[in-house]
Structure 1
Amino acid sequence: VSRLLGVRCIYLNDNEYAEGNRISFLFSNKIMIPEFLEIKKVERQWASRKKIIRYPGVKEGVYLWPYERMYSSLGSAKKKSGKKTIFVRPEPWTAQYYKGKRYFIDDLLIALKQKYKIVLLPRGDEQRKHYLGDRFKGVIVPEKSIELSEIMKACDLFIGAGGTMTREAVVLGIPTISIYQDELLDVDKYLIKKGLMVHKRDLSPEFVVELLENSYRKEPEREMLKKGKEAYELIKSVLVGQ
């Protein structure tokens, strides 16, 4: 549409498996991808190397860096005693790029819900209805979305079957397990290699218990936030044409 209207187009994406990349790469004026995303992968999706600009860090750092001070104070705040809290984000099965399993975390939730406070963050009404079923009695399923700052205050462990919220938790220093079932993105491979995130396609209750006993909340990942600020400035300069 922007090409037909003669409007300059800058395209950003961190997912090398999104089919929408192909047409977007063809018609955009500039393509911005994370530094960890292999250029050959986007070239195979018809991206011209001349258009590509790589920004530092991960996209989540681009919008989280201004809140470093706030999230640092939340992360260091003492929690009340009691059950530890696990936030869970199910699989993005309505997304075009996702070809993995559905509802594969059901048994895990049932096994953990007595020992821990489980807050499940559904993707749409169908998932919400599923996890409000009698089998999951005791699992908290919010009616509305929760502010990231509220998650940060309460979360002892984040288990994510998707991408963005999982990486947000990593950047903010929350112990994080990715249970993504499809091919991992290059940005996720980087975070795993750095030891900032664990990836388990088949996650057992025993692994969760052990990790919670041996992990702790940290300050936000300052390197990722620093890179996020640098990426923000770079993106802004590209947008204004400098």
Structure 2
Amino acid sequence: PPHGGSTRVGKVRAMTARLRALRRFAQGRRFDVAFSHASHELPLVARSLGIPSSYAFDYEFARAQHALGCRAATRVVVPDAIPQDRLDRLGARARKVVRYPGLKEEYYLHDFEPDRTVLDALGIDRSRILVVMRTPPDVSLYHRHGNTVWKDVLERLGRDPSVHAVALARTPDQRDDLRAAQLPSLLVPARAVDGLSLVALADLVVSAGGTMNREAVALGTPVFTTFSGRLGAVDERLVREGSLRRLVGADELVVARKASAGVRSMHPPEIMLERLLEARGIAPATETIYRPGV
């Protein structure tokens, strides 16, 4: 089913369609366990079919969806940064909560190597400072704020001749607006690109989202957030550490070449899988879960 758009009515209709489609798909297939990251429809359907489920997320203030997912799931899997009192409000009592250390991005980026050909494919001028920008999540219920800082930063970077900025839009409307601005230093890809490689190879990331910020932190790229909603516990910790910097005004942005990469210590993905499998009470041997290079 298509995205529900930015209205609550549209989102409810889309959720209803997804629930029906997912139930049709899952019914009769004899699944042993269901995993979901912030997709609350899956634990709802899993519960209706008697399938144990793990519901994972790392931003606790998307309350509408998490209140459904947490209550329906067998286990709720979250970073150790999120305090229990915030989870209690979502219906995730301590007895069903499973925690993992660090960032979720440090698990799926465990053996990541960037593809440098993405720069040539996009026509990046390597003599200039490469900045990757991510637009605000304007269609999300948890982000109902005008984001003037992001627009000011876009204007500043888009007119800086020493910069080549790649703006990654979330929606066709955002992409059209970016192109209509006709900023000389701004590149707006026409289709999906290898964002992970771009983030790893960039000198700087400016993002109004969450996941791309944390990917930048994990990959050692300096990152500023223009997110205008309430920061979650994971990002609060990163701000305290100095790994993530929050922009209040465009004049605070430091534009410079990236120093030598300081990639964080990654976590083997089998640790995450073991946490997720707790929904079914399974703790299999490491070698049956994870084989490097496969």
**TM-score, reference length from structure 1:** 0.85
Bigger radius of gyration: 2
SS of the residue aligned with 1:11?
strand
- The residue number in structure 1 matching 2:264 is 221
Amino acid at match of 1:238: E
Match of 1:130 in 2: 177
| 1:27-73 Cα deviation digits (max 9, x unpaired) | 11111110001111010112121101111111112211132xx25x9
Deviations 1:140-179 (A, max 9, x none): 0001122135304541000011100111011000011111
1:10 maps to 2:54: yes
Q: Distance in 1 between matches of 2:50 and 2:184?
A: 54
The structure-2 alpha-carbon separation of the partners of 1:103 and 1:141, relative to structure 1 and needing over 3 Å to count, comes to: farther
* Alpha-carbon distance, 1:135 to partner: 4.2
Give the letter aligned to residue 54 of structure 1.
R
Tell me the residue number matched to 2:31: none
Which segments of structure 1 move beyond 4 Å, counting only runs of 4 or more?
none
Does structure 1 residue 204 correspond to structure 2 residue 250? yes
2:186 corresponds in structure 1 to 139
Amino acid of the structure 2 residue aligned with 1:204: A
1:131 positional shift:
0.3
Provide the C-alpha distance between the structure 2 equivalents of 1:34 and 1:13, rounded to a whole number of angstroms.
8
User: Aligned-pair RMSD on alpha carbons?
Assistant: 2.4
Structure with more contact order per residue of length (Cα contacts < 8 Å, sep ≥ 6): 1
Q: Which amino acid aligns with 2:60?
A: E
Structure 1, unaligned stretches of length 5 or more?
none
2:52–2:279: 8 Å Cα contact kept in structure 1? no
Which ranges of structure 2 fall in alignment gaps of 5 or more residues? 1-44, 117-123, 283-294
Mapping of residues 1-242 of structure 1, within 5 Å: 1-18=45-62, 19-67=64-112, 70-71=113-114, 82-102=127-147, 104-113=149-158, 114-115=160-161, 116-152=163-199, 154-200=201-247, 202-205=248-251, 207-208=252-253, 210=254, 212=256, 216-222=259-265, 225-226=266-267, 229=269, 231-235=271-275, 237-238=277-278, 241-242=281-282
Please report the TM-score for the alignment, with normalisation by the length of structure 2: 0.70
**Matched length:** 228
